[in-house]
Copies of this chain bind each other. A is one copy, B any other.
Amino acid sequence: MLVEDLPTPALWADADALGSNLATMAAAWPGTRLRPHVKAHKCTSLAREQASRGHTAFTCATPAEVLGLARAGLGDDILLANQCLDPGRLEAMAHSGARVTVAVDSEATIAAAAMAGIAEVLIEVRVGFRCGCAVGQAGPLAATARRLGLGVRGVMGYEGHAMGLTQRSERERLTAGAMERLAEAHEAVGGEIVSGGGTGTWDINHWVTELQAGSYVLMDTAYSAQDQPFVQGLFISATVISVAPGYAVCDAGLKALGMDHGNPTIEGAEIIYCADEHTAFVPDTPVRVGDRITVIPAHIDPTMAKHPVLHVAQRGEVVDTWEIDLRHW
C-alpha cells in the first residue's frame, strides 16, 4: 500500500526521519538519560522504538498513558509527570505491575499517592507556569512524603516558557533561570533524579539528570522553526476535494489537526482557514480535484491525539500501521 492510496485524511510518519531523530537524540541523551515523553505520540509501538534505542524509562502526562505502557510491557520505570488526585487511577497505577513514580507538589497530592499505594514520587517544582511547588516548599514536602512512607527519588520541573522560543539565547537565559531554581530545590529534597527539559532545550539544559523530550521523534512546524537537528517526520495525506477560482479545498480539517499552535502548513500554498473537515488553501500552482497533498501539523501532541492510527512509510510505501492507543485519560 502506498501513502497515496490511504483513505484520507491519513496521518503518517516518515520512517527515515523517525530513525534519524531517534538516533540523534539517543547519541546525545543515551539510555535512561532520556525519559521520552509519550504524550507527544501516545503510541506504544513508537514507545517500543524508543525502548529499543535504550530509552526504557518513560514520561507520561495521564494515567491512561501510564497504564497503557504498563500493559504493553514497557513498565521498567514510568513517571507520571503530572499531579493526580484520582484514587481509582492512582490505585490502578500502583497495581499495574510497572515501576510507577508520580509527581507531587502539595500535601493533597502526596496524601492521595500514599493512600493509593504509590511507592515513589518526584517533588514537582514550579520553574515555569504549569504545576509545581515553590522552591522553598520542596524540602518540607519531601519530608512529608517520606513520613508517609513514599520513596522520594528527586525533583522535576518543566521550563515550558522557554521551550517554544525561536531565539536560542532567550531559551538559554530562561532555562538557566528555571534550572537554577530546580537545582536549589534538589539540594533540599535529595534523591538521584533531576527531571525536566524537552525538545526545545535538549542541547541547552545541562542541569537535569534526565531529559523529558517527546516532540523530537516526529517534530511539527512550531519546533521546526527552531534551528534543530531533528527533521519533520509527521504528515497528513489529504485529498483535494474541490477547486474554486483562486483556491482549493482538501479533506484534512481541524478535527485532524492540533490547532492550538495555529494553522498547519502546506508547502507551495497559503492556508486560508481550517474548518471541521476542510482546509481551504491558495496553491502556488494549480491543483485538480483528486490530487493528493501533504499537510504538516503545527503541533504534534494534539494532532496525534486526534487520530486512531499512525501509518509508517518509507519512500512513499506504508511499511507499518501503529495504533495510537494511549489516548484519553
Question: A residues engaging B (CB < 8 A)?
Answer: 7-9, 39, 61-62, 82-86, 88-89, 105-106, 108-109, 126, 129-132, 134, 160, 239, 241-245, 247, 249, 251, 254-256, 258-260, 272-278, 280, 288-290, 301-302, 305-308, 328-329
Q: Provide the residues of chain B in CB contact with A247, threshold 8 Å.
A: 129
Write the chain B residue with the least CB distance to A106: B289
Contact pick for A302, options B82, B276, B280, CB 8 Å: B276
Asked if residues B301 and A276 are in contact (CB atoms below 8 Å), the reply is: yes
Asked if residues B82 and A277 are in contact (CB atoms below 8 Å), the reply is: yes
Interface SS of chain A: loop
| 13 pairs, A vs B, C-beta closer than 8 Å | A7-B86, A7-B89, A8-B86, A39-B277, A82-B241, A82-B278, A85-B239, A106-B243, A129-B247, A129-B273, A130-B242, A134-B245, A259-B260
Asked if residues B242 and A106 are in contact (CB atoms below 8 Å), the reply is: yes
Asked if residues B277 and A260 are in contact (CB atoms below 8 Å), the reply is: no
Contact pick for A328, options B39, B273, B289, B308, CB 8 Å: B308
Write the chain B residue with the least CB distance to A84: B241
Asked if residues B272 and A61 are in contact (CB atoms below 8 Å), the reply is: no
Q: Provide the residues of chain B in CB contact with A245, threshold 8 Å.
A: 134
